[in-house]
Amino acid sequence: MLSHYQQQTNNNAFNESIVDSNVSNRKNRLTLSYDLNNYQPLLHHLQTSDDPRWILFIAPPGKPNFQFLQQAGINKSRIITLNQKQLNNPDQIFEDALSSNNYAAVIRWVNKCNKPLINEINQLTVKSNTHCFVYCTQ
């Protein structure tokens, strides 16, 4: 399903500058951030993990800068980006991706994070041995 998605190659966004996170919650395999510009934990994980599975960006605010990621040692052929316009149900894709055991990391941007959502994500990440990075606006 998602593994057949053609990756995008536009390198416009995914800011290289790193800003300190206001809130970071690492629980099991979940990194939760309310700082939408802090990609340092994600970058560190991608650089140090030897997990060969896919890296999935779900509805990022811009297109990932593949040149920057490649310079950081991350193989761009492992990256799948699904933009918001392509998604009918991003929540279902997020859940399916975390349940599938096909991804080394799943990265998602959401408007609100609440305790039930965090608990559900934690359970799914443990079952699939997938790291999840969630960027929350509120």
Q: What's the number of domains the chain is made of?
A: 1
52 or 62, which is more confident: 52
What residue numbers bound the domain in which 77 lies? 2-13+21-136
Q: What are the residues whose beta carbons fall under 8 Å from the beta carbon of 62, sequence distance 6 or more?
A: 12, 13, 14
- The pLDDT-based confidence of 54 (bands split at 50, 70, 90) is very high
In tens, the pLDDT along 81-110 reads 999 888 899 889 999 999 999 999 999 999
β-partners of residue 26 are: 31
State pTM to two decimals.
Answer: 0.76
- The pLDDT-based confidence of 28 (bands split at 50, 70, 90) is low
Average pLDDT, rounded, for the chain: 78
What's the confidence (pLDDT) of residue 13? 30
In contact, 133 and 33? CB cutoff 8 Å: yes
CB atoms within 10 A of CB 71: 10
Q: What is the CATH number of the domain that holds 113?
A: 3.40.50.300
* Residue 82 to residue 88: CA distance in whole angstroms: 11
Tokens 């941007």 sit at which residue? 109
